[in-house]
Amino acid sequence: MHDFAALEGRGVIAAFLASTQFVVAAAAQAKALGYREVPSVFVPHPIQDRTDAEMRALADAALEEVLAAVTRR
Amino acid sequence: MPAEERETVAWPADGYVAVVKQDCPTCRLVEPVLAGLPGLTVFTQDDPAFPEGVADRRDDTDLDASLALGIETVPTLVRFAGGVEQGRVVGWSRAQWAELTGVAGLGEGLPEYRPGCGSRTQDPDVAEEILVRTRGGSLRARRLEIAALEDEAEALFDRGFTDGLPVVAPTPARVLRMLEGTSRKPDEAVAVVPPNLAEATVEKVAINAVLAGCRPEYLPVVLAAVEAACTDEFNAHGLLATTWGAGPAIVVNGPIRAEIGMNWAGNALGQGNRANSTIGRALQLVIRNVGGGRPQEVDRAALGHPGKVGFCFAEDEEGSPFEPLAQSRGVPPGRSAVTVFAAEGPRGLADQISRTPESLARSLAQGLRSVCHWKLPGGFDASLVLSPEHGRTFREAGWDRARLHWELDELLLLDRAEITRGAGGIEEGVPARASDRPVPKFRPGGYMIMYAGGGAGMFSAVIGGWAGGPGGSAPVTREVDPWR
């Protein structure tokens, strides 16, 4: 979330991306940084034990949402 | 009443000022002397009707004049000329009173000398109130009011200030007393605390030291630990946010260990010593209450461990076969320092048979190898706490810390065939490679060796860390003395 804030501060369009286990952590950190809402995409958990092919599938599945998150205003 | 709302006390620029209290036999003894002394102003600390017969008698039950005059004993007689103190006499002494006032034959019939009594400003029951009145203005933290019917401990739980255990209420008086542990100003910045990147002032750290149960003399250690933990190298933010269960631990070196009564002997890593228990807790409370790092919010540990309440101990420098850890990390001898490092709970490592350093080192290497996963090299840091009975073997063999590191490094070169994914029927491991070169278990500098513990027991301890180096956490050492 700090990365999101840093990128946004430099005028770089950004979105927050994590797995669903981090919804609460993202909300707590976003609130602490003063955001009411951060464009966020949460992919299904787990992540750590996924193969490269499974990770690519997760990324592909999230692509539309990510594009929407960085273009929606 | 806050200082700015109080009237400034004053007395005539020329003449005498006496400070008394009715409760003091010597003050009652000199009552007739005071009644007969011209140009005298008397401030009375307890009974406003005492002493009788004095024209300019003033109520000082709020002790403002006594504090302004720096009174420690009553009666005290002070002479002023042009608003400047010319001299003072403490207690009753006919000769000294006569000399100060220039009035001969004072106190006819009284004994020559009687010592005074303690000023009410020195009473323990008013000391706290005086401390807040005189120095409370230096505190900047938001004040919280707790209703009369609220239980203090419960109120602090309800407001989210605790780690799950009761805390000591950080009243202004307690915070001011804690601040006496450092020469630094309350509003001085110590660090920017993750995850919320909030500035921790000396005052904010002192408040959390009170909450944790610290004594004022521990405060410099807590301040140094906060400074060390809030560095890019230590990366407290990453350590907090990782799903791995490690937390910050502190090992203390130097003279301050003994000065504040830390434990480095039996049960050094355990409970029972106030300094050990509360210093580590204070650091974690700073991260919670200043930085906003709370479990199940930004603290994403899947499991955590009991030492995340607070993990702090001292190294046994006197008994160690090695130079103190802080010295090995660049701190000059004779200086106090903290080293913060990422830590899981300690795991005991028994070897009650080895009599040679080579055999014992192999045992220790086996224990270190288990950190993170027996098959995983290079990622995680660790610490080894060597106990006295294991240290003896290395001392007798003449091994210093560098030699033990060197030997352990050799023993911790992992055979690729054992650690490849699938080896041993375990899917976890490193990807298969053409190379068969052995792989170091730890990155260079990826494990520390410390020395502590009771004199009996051939048991050392391995403390697993977290991902080491850039992106992870590296141990950080900071001197304590600048925070005294």
H or E element that contains B132: helix B124-135
Angle, vertex CA A3, rays to CA A51 and CA B239, nearest 5: 70
Please say if the pLDDT value at position A32 is more than 90: no
**Which has the closest alpha carbon to B28: B47, B14, B13, B2?**
B47
- The reply to whether residue A21 touches residue B196, judged by beta carbons under 8 angstroms, is no
Q: Report yes or no: A2 at the B interface, CB cutoff 8 Å.
A: yes
Q: Classify A44 as helix, strand or coil.
A: coil
**Assigned superfamily of B3-122:** Glutaredoxin (3.40.30.10)
- The reply to whether residue B297 touches residue A24, judged by beta carbons under 8 angstroms, is yes
- Chain B stretch 237-276, residues whose beta carbon is closer than 8 A to a beta carbon of chain A: 237, 241
Q: Which domain holds residue A12?
A: 2-71
Tally of domains within chain A: 1
H or E element that contains B223: helix B219-229
Cα atoms in the 13 Å half-sphere on the side-chain side of B46: 15
Answer whether the bond into residue B51 is a cis peptide, omega within 30°: yes
Amino acid letter, B200: A
Q: What are A41-50's pLDDT values in tens digits?
A: 999 999 888 8
Look up residue B481 and give its DSSP letter: G
Nearest Cβ partner of B296 from A24, A32, A33? A24
Alpha-carbon separation of residue B164 from B153, B200, B282, B285 (angstroms): 11, 22, 13, 11
Whose tokens are 């850039």? That residue is B470
Bridge partners, residue A19, by sequence: A43
The pLDDT assigned to A73 comes to 61
Whose tokens are 């009650």? That residue is B352
Classify residue A34 as left (phi > 0), alpha (psi -120 to 50) or beta. left
Q: Do B374 and B411 meet the contact criterion of CB atoms below 8 Å apart?
A: no
ipTM computed for the complex: 0.74
- Give Cα A51 to chain centroid, integer Å: 20
For B390, other C-beta atoms within 10 Å of its C-beta total 28
Bridge partners, residue B306, by sequence: none
Q: What are B114-173's pLDDT values in tens digits?
A: 999 999 999 988 888 888 988 898 999 999 999 989 999 999 999 999 999 999 999 999
| Portion of chain A with pLDDT greater than 70, in percent | 99
Positions in chain B whose pLDDT score sits under 50 = 1-6
